[in-house]
């Protein structure tokens, strides 16, 4: 009994968890569209306007309080000019996700938000979000503007289809792209006054299969009306306007790349670029060579799903410096491609993040194209995961693998060798045979291959 009592009296020596203030001169800023609230360690919360003069006054106030580290939430685009002004003044600026700085239950005001941000930052409980270098931010604006134009142009293609349907012209149901060579010739001819289906069909490109021409002719026998021709003309004019805006973005991107590679040596060995079938590809001559010079010869366009267009898009979001992410796991987590798990006791469930990442979405788009491939090894991986867990999981898992390859290439550099779907299936089959043989041996059984 004495021994038992002795064991019961045993206690575990442990230190109390104590939060320590590590940033003594911190300030929290709550940003709105018209006002910003600045909370420093000493003194009350001050309010300033979001005009440039107000931002400069807030900077003077922060400096007078001896602040050397500032924290603010990513509120739309409002934080960007404040961030640039503070950064240029030499302050340490933390941009944090609003989800990581949720207020405690109770009343919520702008004053309380700024004080709560300052308090959390004082104890070092907030992580700064990734903000690219200024040159990458410049490229990001050009690429995002370009993408906006592409999406808006696509909306007007739908308007064209709507007016054609209203006139029972089913051209877009027969040919693959209404804005392709054949589609544009036919639409312009219709708007010029041509109504004969045979003459309109004769405008089709030679690339259209001869068997399909009869269907094209049938689709062009429509019920033409003035008001829908007017709507078609307006949609086409706006679509052309967006195409000119996209070309202007291309010229800006081309100028940016030329400036960035001005003093960089051209790599000795440059592989030929992958062919791009995307109609929205960048119209820049020598794009592949410029990208290879900019990345120091790291040819990410050879990775599965990548080409020069997708590489430029990813660079505009992540840059080519992988140092902000210590490991590939940090990178895939930032992309929202890492698996999330929520466990409590015996209960375990996966959950999805509501916040989407633009760069992560790009890798998901690449994964979808890889999943449709009949020759790439990752295509086999995608199909295997899809058969077991569904398309959503397969897309995310494949996107993560592509992101890891991109991270390793940009950080360490290597030549990617496509092993092919056939080789992947062979390796997978050999691995499954080893596993089954081991399991059979545990149960005292033997696997005998079938003789062909």
Where do the H-state alpha helices sit in 93-169? 110-122, 134-166
Pairing of strands 69-73, 26-31: parallel
- Specify the higher pLDDT residue, 50 or 344: 50
Cα 364 vs. chain centroid, distance in angstroms? 8
Contact 434, 447 (CB under 8 A): no
pLDDT at 106: 56
DSSP states of 309-340 as a string?
Answer: HHHHHHHHHH-S--TTSSSHHHHHHHTT-S--
Whether 13 is in a domain gets the answer no
Tokens representing residue 261 in the block? 């590679």
Whether 423 is in a domain gets the answer no
- Specify the higher pLDDT residue, 49 or 421: 49
Contact 382, 398 (CB under 8 A): yes
pLDDT at 403: 94
pTM of structure: 0.82
My answer on whether 411 and 339 are in the same domain is yes
Rounded to 5 degrees, what angle do the CA atoms 196, 199, 201 make?
A: 105
pLDDT at 375: 76
My answer on whether 329 and 299 are in the same domain is yes
My answer on whether 187 and 293 are in the same domain is no
My answer on whether 318 and 398 are in the same domain is yes
Residues 6+ positions from 385 with CB-CB distance below 8 Å:
393, 394, 397, 398
In degrees and rounded to multiples of 5, residue 79 shows phi and psi of -75, -20
My answer on whether 287 and 371 are in the same domain is yes
My answer on whether 283 and 375 are in the same domain is yes
pLDDT at 230: 96
My answer on whether 58 and 117 are in the same domain is yes
Whether 115 is in a domain gets the answer yes
Low-confidence winner among 77-91, 170-184, 278-292, 351-365 (lowest mean pLDDT): 351-365
What is the average per-residue pLDDT within 137-165?
Answer: 95
Whether 6 is in a domain gets the answer no
The string of pLDDT tens digits covering residues 373-396 is 877 778 888 888 998 889 999 999
Low-confidence winner among 48-52, 70-74, 125-129, 346-350 (lowest mean pLDDT): 346-350
User: What CATH number should be reported for the domain holding residue 247?
Assistant: 1.10.287
Q: How confident is the model at residue 104 (pLDDT cuts 50, 70, 90)?
A: low
Q: How confident is the model at residue 8 (pLDDT cuts 50, 70, 90)?
A: low
Contact 172, 178 (CB under 8 A): yes
Q: Which residue has the tokens 């420093």?
A: 40
How much is the mean pLDDT over the chain? 86
Identify the helix (H) or strand (E) that includes residue 291.
helix 287-294
Is the predicted pLDDT of residue 245 greater than 70, yes or no? Answer: yes
My answer on whether 247 and 276 are in the same domain is no
How many domains are there within the chain? Answer: 4
Residues 6+ positions from 435 with CB-CB distance below 8 Å:
none
pLDDT at 424: 58
Contact 171, 178 (CB under 8 A): yes
User: Among candidates 414, 370, 413, which has minimal Cα distance to 395?
Assistant: 370
- Of all residues in the chain, the percent with pLDDT exceeding 70 is 88
My answer on whether 410 and 299 are in the same domain is yes
Q: What is the CA radius of gyration of the chain?
A: 30
My answer on whether 74 and 112 are in the same domain is yes
Domain with 38, as residue range(s), is 26-122
Whether 212 is in a domain gets the answer yes
Whether 209 is in a domain gets the answer yes
Tokens representing residue 28 in the block? 């929290």
Largest pairwise CA distance in the chain: 108
Cα 228 vs. chain centroid, distance in angstroms? 38
My answer on whether 381 and 277 are in the same domain is yes
Q: Which residue has the tokens 């036919």?
A: 186
Whether 185 is in a domain gets the answer yes
Q: Which of 96, 122, 148 is the last residue of a domain?
A: 122
Identify the helix (H) or strand (E) that includes residue 361.
helix 358-371
pLDDT at 343: 61
Q: How confident is the model at residue 235 (pLDDT cuts 50, 70, 90)?
A: very high
Whether 3 is in a domain gets the answer no
Query: Whole-angstrom Cα distance, residue 231 to residue 164?
Result: 10
In degrees and rounded to multiples of 5, residue 449 shows phi and psi of -65, 145
Q: Classify each residue of 126-136 as buried b or exposed e, where b means 16 or more C-beta atoms within 10 Å of its C-beta.
A: beeeebbeeeb
My answer on whether 41 and 178 are in the same domain is no
What is the average per-residue pLDDT within 143-147?
Answer: 96
Query: Whole-angstrom Cα distance, residue 55 to residue 395?
Result: 44
- Of all residues in the chain, the percent with pLDDT exceeding 90 is 52
Query: Whole-angstrom Cα distance, residue 57 to residue 322?
Result: 36
Is the predicted pLDDT of residue 231 greater than 60, yes or no? Answer: yes
């Amino acid at each position: 009994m004495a021994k038992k009592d002795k064991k019961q009296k045993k206690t575990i020596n442990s230190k109390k968890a104590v939060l320590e203030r590590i940033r003594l001169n911190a300030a929290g800023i709550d940003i709105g569209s018209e006002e910003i609230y600045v909370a420093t360690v000493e003194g009350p919360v001050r309010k300033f306007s979001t005009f440039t003069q107000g931002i400069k006054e807030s900077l003077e106030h922060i400096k007078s309080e001896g602040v050397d580290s500032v924290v603010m939430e990513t509120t739309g685009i409002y934080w960007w000019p404040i961030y640039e002004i503070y950064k240029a003044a030499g302050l340490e600026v933390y941009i944090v996700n609003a989800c990581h700085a949720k207020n405690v239950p109770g009343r919520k005001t702008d004053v309380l938000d700024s004080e709560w941000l300052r308090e959390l930052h004082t104890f070092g409980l907030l992580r700064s979000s990734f903000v690219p270098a200024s040159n990458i931010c410049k490229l990001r604006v050009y690429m995002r503007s370009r993408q906006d134009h592409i999406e808006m142009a696509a909306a007007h293609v739908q308007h064209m289809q709507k007016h054609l349907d209203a006139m029972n012209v089913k051209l877009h149901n027969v040919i693959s792209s209404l804005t392709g060579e054949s589609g544009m010739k036919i639409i312009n001819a219709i708007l010029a006054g041509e109504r004969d289906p045979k003459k309109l069909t004769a405008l089709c490109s030679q690339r259209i299969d001869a068997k399909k021409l009869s269907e094209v002719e049938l689709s062009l026998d429509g019920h033409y009306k003035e008001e829908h021709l007017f709507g078609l003309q307006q949609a086409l004019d706006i679509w052309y306007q967006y195409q000119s805006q996209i070309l202007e973005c291309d010229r800006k991107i081309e100028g940016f790349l030329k400036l960035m590679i001005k003093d960089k040596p051209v790599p000795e060995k440059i592989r030929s670029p992958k062919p791009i079938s995307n109609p929205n590809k960048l119209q820049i001559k020598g794009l592949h060579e410029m990208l290879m010079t900019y990345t120091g010869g790291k040819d990410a366009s050879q990775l599965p799903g990548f080409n020069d267009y997708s590489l430029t898009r990813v660079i505009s979001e992540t840059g080519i410096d992988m140092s902000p992410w210590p490991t590939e796991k940090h990178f895939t987590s930032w992309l929202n491609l890492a698996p999330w798990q929520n466990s409590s006791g015996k209960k375990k469930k996966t959950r999805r993040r509501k916040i989407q990442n633009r760069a992560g979405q790009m890798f998901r788009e690449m994964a979808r194209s890889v999943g449709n491939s009949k020759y790439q090894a990752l295509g086999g991986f995608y199909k295997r995961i899809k058969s077991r867990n569904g398309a959503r999981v397969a897309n995310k898992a494949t996107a993560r693998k592509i992101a890891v390859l991109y991270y390793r290439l940009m950080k360490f550099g290597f030549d990617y060798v496509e092993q092919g779907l056939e080789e992947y299936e062979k390796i997978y089959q050999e691995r499954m045979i080893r596993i089954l043989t081991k399991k059979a041996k545990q149960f005292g059984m033997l696997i005998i291959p079938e003789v062909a």
